[in-house]
Amino acid sequence: MASTSHLDNPSVSNVEETRTRLCDEFASVAGTDRAVAQCYLAENEWEMERALNSYFEADLEKVFEEDFEESESIPDTKRQKMEEKPSQECIDLTGDSPASARKPSEEDENKLSLISWNVDGLDTDNLAERARGLCSFLVLYTPDVVFLQELIPPYVQYLKKRAVSYLLIEGGEDGYFTGMMLKKSRVKFIESEIVTYPTTQMMRNLLVAQITFKGQKLCLMTSHLESCKGHAGERMTQLRVVMQRMKEAPDDVTVLFGGDTNLRDAEVTKVGLAPGVCDVWERLGKQEHCRYTWDTKANSNKTVPYVSRCRFDRIYFRPATKDGIPRLAPDHMALVGLEKLDCGRYISDHWGIYCSFSSG
């Protein structure tokens, strides 16, 4: 937000210009028109984060009305029994399915699996069904690690209620933000931190977590880099922060970054990857069916008057280099979320990325 503290009496034109810009930014983030943006900003003294929080909180009940209605439809006697036994109140939608209950092979047991997905929480249409759809993919793939972007507080609340076999780490509290989900039975969480991007105009940051998997040290990172073609400079600055963190990780630590990068290939070429870092899609042979994670030709969630096919969502990997320790290596990638839900929409306007890493 621009500051006018250096002006004792800011002119009407300066105030108008600042507030017009704020309305445009709010509308872009929340997916609203400028009239709605102006209403929420004016009610919150033109403070962007307060206005966004107010907007999303007001939408909470509408977003998950189906889930709440389902709860309200439970007979009083049954609800009373459930309340007497709180452990039965949260149905884990992400526990192992019967099909996956068989004992995995030793090779599969030692593989690390990951899903990275921009879940488009800013689009509140059919969000309850779309959130349930995400949980169904967690059952299907049982990933050890999940990177999520564009979460909003109601979405986080839902995941905490329905995905209890995962530890959820939030990259923020206000507006929209990133998150990580760690499979409790497979991953040991050590600590996390949020790295700020000082010059972001879109509330973006880098969420970092230290974990262990099968005795191996891993540093996990996720981010949602600055959006839109006009913000390439800031996006490249943020990529440099990511690469610096990957470079600085100790040599006995494997580093995994995933997220909605909004990157164009020319921008990556200009910044360059840190030593030892690879783009997993490229490492696995640049398979065409995994290229486009943002594809308005195939995904109809966003109605736009043009076709846009981009590889916005990416996974970067830096293996541990210290001698004498097991090393992970990427061995598979696929796009997920390609099927429409019963509501006629997809889980997100982005496809998710599923990756697995073998241990050698």
pLDDT tens-digit series, residues 24-41:
888 877 777 887 888 888
Cα distance between residue 307 and residue 291, in whole Å: 15
Write the class of the CATH domain 13-61: mainly alpha
Average pLDDT over residues 290-298: 97
Q: What's the mean pLDDT in 288-296?
A: 97
Instruction: Identify the band that residue 102 occupies on the pLDDT scale cut at 50, 70 and 90.
Output: very low
Give per-residue pLDDT as tens, 299-323.
Answer: 999 988 889 999 999 999 999 999 9
First to last CA, the chain: 49
Kindly tell me if the per-residue pLDDT of 10 is higher than 50: yes
pLDDT at 90 over 90: no
Distance CA 351, CA 293 (A): 5
Q: What mean pLDDT comes out for the span 46-66?
A: 68
Q: Is 260 a catalytic residue?
A: yes
CATH 2.40.110.10 fits 93-359, yes or no: no
Sign of CA dihedral 78, 79, 83, 87: positive
Which has more confidence, 108 or 224? 224
| Phi and psi at residue 330, to the nearest 5° | -65, 135
Exposure of 98 in the CB half-sphere (CA atoms within 13 A): 0
Indicate the DSSP class of residue 301: S
pTM > 0.85: no
Residue 261 confidence (pLDDT): 98
Q: Which is more confidently placed, 234 or 101?
A: 234
For strand 352-359 and strand 253-260, is the pairing parallel, antiparallel, or unpaired?
unpaired
Q: Decide if 131 contacts 124 (C-beta within 8 A).
A: no
Kindly state the tokens that stand for 3.
Answer: 């500051």
Task: Give pLDDT tens digits for 246-262.
Answer: 999 999 999 999 999 99
Task: Please name which of 31, 70, 260 lies closest in space to residue 158, comparing C-alpha atoms.
Answer: 70
At 162 the three-state DSSP class reads helix
**Cα–chain center distance at 72:** 30
Please report the pLDDT score of residue 334 as a whole number: 97
What residues does each domain of the chain span? Answer: 13-61, 93-359
| Chain position carrying tokens 């600590």 | 191
Catalytic pick among 67, 260, 279, 295: 260
Query: Which position has the higher pLDDT, 197 or 360?
Result: 197
Q: What mean pLDDT do residues 43-52 have?
A: 84
Q: What is the pLDDT of residues 141-155, one digit of tens each?
A: 999 999 999 999 999
Q: What is the mean pLDDT of residues 311-339?
A: 95
Of 13 and 23, the one with more pLDDT: 23
Query: Residue 106's pLDDT band (boundaries 50, 70, 90)?
Result: low
**% of the chain with per-residue pLDDT over 70:** 82
Contact indicator for 202, 220 with CB cutoff of 8 Å: no
